[in-house]
Chain A
Amino acid sequence: MEYFLELFLSGLIRGSIYALIALGYTMVYGIIELINFAHGEIYMIGAFTALIVASVLTMLGWNQIAIILLASVVAVIYSSAYGYTVEKIAYQPLRGAPRLSALISAIGMSLFLQNYVLLAQTSDFMPFPSLIPEFKFMESYEHIISSPEIVILATTTLVMIFLAFLIKFTRMGKAMRATAQDREMAMLVGVDVDRIISFTFIIGSATAALGGVLIASHIGQINFYIGFLAGIKAFVAAVLGGIGSIPGAVVGSLVLGWTESFFTGYVSSDYEDVFAFLFLVFILIFRPSGIMGRAETEKV
């Protein structure tokens, strides 16, 4: 039972991190129907920015709480700016072009950003300081769940509540939903669609950056390649839950986190990724629109 609980929790942690990245995918997909391949890279850039800021501040001798807060804020801002720029350069000129073109452009962008960081930084794994402090009151539960994990869970939950609020109740959220449903119609009723799309990219990148900071300080090391696998996994999660649906992304991420964690725990860790992909294939075969997605009929 203890073992089960451990796996359950590690799955939950994994799932919530996937969720932070998957949210960006799903939001972008919901609005412009494009798999943003560069999303994983944005996440990686977030982690790198946080690393740089944190190391500089540590040298200056700041206190830990201030470092983590400032590092996260800077990471979020920079990643958002990246997301915004990527959208402006690689996707906006392709609006209205065939879907394949935009997809290839996205792959190109991902390749570019990855190698850009590789060249600007190093190809080695960089140690990432564990930014999240150990809380005093957590000591008695330490053997089950550590403080960084609690922070990850709490942040993910907060972000989700915030997003849900943003999309349900604000003017911007309303405009986003309208754009997702029918872009031309939204334009007709006076929604500035370009602005909404930029906004979506910014929000998505910001959550990804947050995920980047959290997971990097949880795992303890980063390199330029982390974005790719995390991006793929998060995308799998988004598809599992039904791409385009925000609760779906969360559910899909948790399901993926748990399956991976239980599979690794009970079967074998060598084939963990194989299993994740097989799972995706099966879901797509039997339920092509994902767990919570709506089946869409194509219009002629």
Chain B
Amino acid sequence: MFLTFPIMVIKVNTIENIVVWRWKNLFIVGIGVFLLSFVWRYLIKRKEVGKKKAEAGELVKPPITQRVLKEPKFYIPALIAVAVFAIAFPFVFSMYQTNIMVTALIYVVISLGLNIVVGLAGLLDLGYVAFYAVGAYTYALLNYHFGLGFWTVLPIGAAMGFLFGVLLGFPVLRLRGDYLAIVTLGFGEIIRLILENWNEFSFGPSGIANIPRPGLFGIQMSLHSSIIYLYFLMIGLTLFTIFVVNRLQDSRIGRAWIALREDEIACQAMGIDKTKTKLTAFALGATWAGMGGVVFAAKTTFINPASFTIWESIIILCVVVIGGMGSIIGVIIGALILILLPEYLRAFSEYRMLIFGAVLVVMMVFRPGGIISDVRRIYRFEERETTA
């Protein structure tokens, strides 16, 4: 009751409008909050019980998702099913659906990029969208001025992302967590504001239109087939990303990132160059964003600075956090859910951001690991059967 009281009283106030007194809303909100508060307290209690159990040394069973993932019996057929579905998708569903799927896949790729920065290296980057913008503008401008094609620009976009990652990362990476978050946020805004105001360079808020879609050896394609083409291209890029991130995770540098995330000082003591490791994480994350940006520009054929606001960064961050920081499958599922759900639930689109916000908070409070949390690798001491 102590907790519900202020909420109920407060919510009453903002709902009433200047002219219209919406007593009905007030009533609904009152009831809703009252019920929610019970759920809330129940969950809190459950969490505390769980914590006590863990403290008491009882073995907590690994969550069901983890067990499914570990068991080859389950995941091999699942993988095949996903692959078949992915190949059949554009032929079964309409062009509109395919188009949405392409967007979702772009988000998968850039979220995996951000996952390197936030999930593995533990650096909170709130300006990630800046690199996305860099990629998109690289393609748009190079195409506009020099007529370069998609395939030429894709690596250039990635390189530009990398370059900007290093450029922006270099001065700020000595800062601690919170400062880093705010400075990256600042950089994100700086890049957006520059794109908006520097008319001669980026055509300002009106953006750049008529960006060509990617071509295949100069073959002219209809709109429909070019979207299918883009779809398979994204599937390829996603697989490539998954492969690279997966390999990185187990590499020397990947383990250095994880160590850095867990404890900076201990990590330094082990002889890891802190700045260099952070910088690689930052730059590699930015590289994926740059590539994602190029594809984004090619897909929408029109870009302007309004596509690259801070909220875009936050949505990508939501994807990573909700999916499960550091876990590749989690991030992919997170991206698909977060991007596809709003598309299909058009009716609720007003409430989308509201729900995002609430989900972020609830997620952090009750399930800080995300939908599919990364398992911490634990060295298990195998007890041998001692002969009696």
Contact = CB atoms under 8 A, between A and B. Distances in A.
Contact of B353 (A111, A236, A273): A111
A284 B172 contact: yes
**Which label, helix, strand, loop or mixed, suits the secondary structure of the B interface?**
helix
B356 A78 contact: no
A119 interface: yes
Contact of A113 (B3, B176, B357, B363): B357
Contacts, number: 158
A274 B179 contact: no
B221 interface: no
A247 to B, nearest CB: 20
A235 B361 contact: no
Interface string B329-370: 000000000000000000000110110111111011100100
Contact of B16 (A52, A104, A110, A288): A52
Interface in B132-174: 171-172, 174
A89 B37 CA distance: 10
Interface stretch (B5-13, B107-115, B272-280, B283-291): B5-13
Interface stretch (B189-197, B239-247, B250-258, B373-381): B189-197
Interface in B303-331: 310, 314, 317, 321
A33 to B, nearest CB: 8
Given A94-B365, A300-B265, A271 B197 contact: yes
A94 to B, nearest CB: 6
- Best-surrounded residue of B181, B310, B351, B361 (most CB of chain A within 10 A): B361
A85 B6 contact: yes
A298 B265 contact: yes
Given A78-B10, A239-B179, A97 B368 contact: yes
A103 to B, nearest CB: 6
A51 B19 CA distance: 12
Interface in A268-300: 270-271, 273-274, 277-278, 280-281, 284-285, 288, 298, 300
B178 A103 contact: yes
B124 interface: yes
A112 interface: yes
Nearest to B15: A120
Given A284-B175, A288-B179, A88 B3 contact: yes
Contacts of B351: 115, 119
A122 B265 CA distance: 49
A109 B361 contact: yes
Interface residues of A, number: 62
Category for how many chain B residues contact A: 35 or more
Interface in A110-161: 110-117, 119-121
B34 interface: no
B387 interface: no
B234 interface: no
Given A49-B13, A235-B182, A277-B189, A56 B18 contact: yes
A7 interface: no
Interface string A80-122: 0110110011100110011111111101111111111101110
Contacts of B181: 35, 103
B171 A285 contact: yes
Interface in A60-94: 78, 81-82, 84-85, 88-90, 93-94
B183 interface: yes
Contacts of A89: 3, 40, 361, 365
B17 interface: yes
Contacts of A235: 182
Contact of A108 (B3, B15, B359): B359
B197 A90 contact: no
A111 B360 contact: yes
Nearest to A286: B171
A105 B360 contact: yes
10 contacts: A35-B182, A85-B10, A89-B40, A89-B361, A93-B47, A112-B361, A271-B194, A278-B186, A288-B174, A298-B265
8 nearest interchain CB pairs? A108-B360, A112-B357, A111-B357, A277-B186, A105-B364, A115-B354, A108-B361, A270-B197
Given A121-B17, A274-B194, A280-B183, 19 more contacts: A49-B14, A52-B14, A55-B18, A100-B122, A100-B124, A103-B177, A104-B360, A105-B360, A109-B357, A111-B354, A111-B360, A115-B354, A119-B351, A236-B182, A274-B193, A277-B186, A284-B175, A285-B171, A285-B174
Interface of A: 29, 33-35, 45, 48-49, 51-52, 55-56, 78, 81-82, 84-85, 88-90, 93-94, 97-105, 107-117, 119-121, 228, 232, 235-236, 239, 270-271, 273-274, 277-278, 280-281, 284-285, 288, 298, 300
Interface of B: 3, 6-7, 9-10, 13-18, 25, 40, 44, 47, 118, 122, 124, 171-172, 174-179, 181-183, 185-187, 189-190, 193-194, 197, 265, 310, 314, 317, 321, 350-351, 353-354, 356-361, 363-365, 368
